[in-house]
Amino acid sequence: MPSFATLRTPVGVVGVVSSGDAITRVSWRSTAPVGADAAPDALLDEALAQLRAYFDGARRDFDLPIDLGVQTDATRAVLMALFETVAAGETVTYGELAGRSGTTIPARGIGAIMGANPVPLIVPCHRVVAGDGLGGYSGGDAGQGLQTKRWLLEHEGALPPSLF
């Protein structure tokens, strides 16, 4: 049975789900998914500690086992290319990520994959930007996607702090 916990962050309450072997979901929600429990889970505790350190500025990337669930080979290749090649403080365009992944997915398709990322923050979809600006972002509290993306990129030093 999966375990679930939440963490209050500067960009909203983040929920984390662990199978005990891997982190399977990260989302901006404060209610447990159906079937999750609050049983002790060392991996979930470690994930919360790493997320807390990230938001406190003491950690830049994550060292956690993840399970992306059922994905196409191309989707898995894109998400893993992002996870393995784009560090904190860096950004990559949708088109550049398509190239890094070795797939033939067009930039618009990369955007759709980012929106369906089951473990945002850990697989840092906020670091994927459009060639002419931030692009979109579906993370964060409802209606706060772009503000959340901007905050995360500023926090990592990939964008200068906003003047407004």
**Residue numbers annotated as active site:** 125
Q: Please, are residues 22 and 65 in contact by the beta-carbon 8 Å criterion?
A: yes
47-82 CB burial, b ≥16 within 10 A, e <16: bbebbeebbeeeeeebebebebeeeeebbbbbbbbb
Distance CA 20, CA 40 (A): 9
Distance CA 100, CA 109 (A): 14
